[in-house]
Structure 1
Amino acid sequence: MARDTVDSTPIEGTAALAATLEEGCKPVDRFRIGTEHEKFGFHLSDLSPIPYGGPHGVEAVLTGMEKLLGWERIEDAGKIIGLADPVGGGAISIEPGGQFELSGAPLDNLHETCRETNAHLAQVREVADPLGIGFLGTGMTPTWRREDVPAMPKSRYEIMTRYMPKVGSLGLDMMYRTSTIQVNLDFASEADMALKMRVGLALQPIATAIFANSPFTDGKPNGFKSFRAHIWTDTDADRTGDMPFAFEDGFGFEAYVDWAIDVPMYFVKRGDAYHDVTGTTFREFMNGALEGRIPDARPNLGDWNNHLSTLFPDVRLKKYIEMRGADGGPWRRICALPAFWVGLLYDDGVLDQAWQLVKDWTREERAALRSGVPKDALQTAFRSGTVLDVAREALALSSEGLKRRARFSDGDLDERVHLAPIEEGLAAGMCPADVLLQRYNGSWNGDLTHIFKEYAY
Structure 2
Amino acid sequence: MSAPDKPVAEPITRVDSLVEWMAAGCKPLEDWRIGTEHEKFVFHRGDLSPVPYEGERGIGQFLGQMQRFGWTPVREGENTIALKKDQASITLEPGGQLELSGAPLENIHQSCCEVQEHLRQVDEVARELDLGMIGLGFHPTAKRSEIPWMPKGRYGVMGNYMPKVGTLGLDMMLRTCTVQVNLDFSSETDMVRKFRVGLALQPLATALFANSPFVEGRPNGFLSYRSHVWTDTDNDRCGMLPFVFDRDMSFERYVEHVLDVPMYFVYREGRYIDVAGQSFRDFMQGRLPGLPGEYPSLSDWEDHLSTLFPEVRMKRFIEMRGADGGPWGRLCALPAFWVGLLYSESALDEAVQLIADWDVAEISELRDRVPREGLDTPFRGGTLRDVALEALAISRRGLADRARLDRRGRDEGHFLDLLDGIAQSGRTPAEELLEAWEQRWDHQVYPVFREFAY
**TM-score when normalising by structure 1:** 0.97
Q: Which residue of 2 aligns with 1:279?
A: 277
Q: Distance in 2 between matches of 1:77 and 1:370?
A: 40
Deviations 1:203-229 (A, max 9, x none): 000000000000000100000000000
- Residue identity over aligned pairs, in percent, reads 53
Q: Distance in 2 between matches of 1:23 and 1:263?
A: 22
Q: Distance in 2 between matches of 1:199 and 1:17?
A: 24
Residues 40, 99 of structure 1: 8 Å contact kept: yes
Q: Distance in 2 between matches of 1:326 and 1:10?
A: 36
Q: Distance in 1 between matches of 2:133 and 2:108?
A: 23
Map residues 195-210 of structure 1 onto 2, 5 A cutoff. 195-210=193-208
- One-letter amino acid of the structure 2 residue matched with residue 224 of structure 1: F
The CA deviation at 1:3 is 4.7
SS of the counterpart of 1:91? strand
The CA deviation at 1:268 is 0.4
The CA deviation at 1:296 is 6.6
SS of the counterpart of 1:269? strand
SS of the counterpart of 2:90? strand
Q: Which residue of 2 aligns with 1:193?
A: 191
- One-letter amino acid of the structure 2 residue matched with residue 103 of structure 1: S
Q: Which residue of 1 aligns with 2:83?
A: 83
SS of the counterpart of 2:232? coil
Q: Which residue of 2 aligns with 1:385?
A: 382
The CA deviation at 1:195 is 0.5
Q: Which residue of 2 aligns with 1:65?
A: 66
- One-letter amino acid of the structure 1 residue matched with residue 42 of structure 2: G
Of 108, 123, 126, which residue of structure 2 is paired with 1:128? Answer: 126
- One-letter amino acid of the structure 2 residue matched with residue 329 of structure 1: G
Q: Distance in 1 between matches of 2:367 and 2:327?
A: 24
Deviations 1:82-125 (A, max 9, x none): 0111x3x0000000000000000000000000000000000001
Count of paired positions: 453
Q: Distance in 1 between matches of 2:306 and 2:15?
A: 17
The CA deviation at 1:288 is 2.2
Matched, 1:253 2:251: yes
- Measured at CA, do residues 13 and 4 of structure 1 come closer, stay the same or move farther in structure 2, by a change above 3 Å? farther
Q: Which residue of 1 aligns with 2:209?
A: 211
SS of the counterpart of 1:233? helix
The CA deviation at 1:413 is 1.1
Deviations 1:5-60 (A, max 9, x none): 83522114010001111111001011000000000000000000011110111111
Q: Distance in 1 between matches of 2:82 and 2:310?
A: 24
Matched, 1:10 2:11: yes
- One-letter amino acid of the structure 1 residue matched with residue 109 of structure 2: H
Q: Distance in 1 between matches of 2:178 and 2:3?
A: 18
What are structure 2's unaligned runs of at least 5 residues?
none
Q: Distance in 2 between matches of 1:296 and 1:345?
A: 43
Q: Distance in 1 between matches of 2:384 and 2:4?
A: 38
Q: Which residue of 1 aligns with 2:160?
A: 162
Residues 264, 281 of structure 1: 8 Å contact kept: yes
Q: Which residue of 1 aligns with 2:232?
A: 234
SS of the counterpart of 2:47? coil
The CA deviation at 1:376 is 0.5
Deviations 1:286-329 (A, max 9, x none): 122226x4387111111100000001110000010000000000
The CA deviation at 1:133 is 0.3
Q: Distance in 2 between matches of 1:157 and 1:296?
A: 26
TM-align CA RMSD: 1.1
Q: Which residue of 2 aligns with 1:104?
A: 102
Residues 53, 59 of structure 2: 8 Å contact kept: yes
- One-letter amino acid of the structure 2 residue matched with residue 181 of structure 1: V
Deviations 1:63-100 (A, max 9, x none): 0111x222221111221000111x3x000000000000
Deviations 1:242-267 (A, max 9, x none): 10000001211000000000110000
- One-letter amino acid of the structure 2 residue matched with residue 314 of structure 1: E
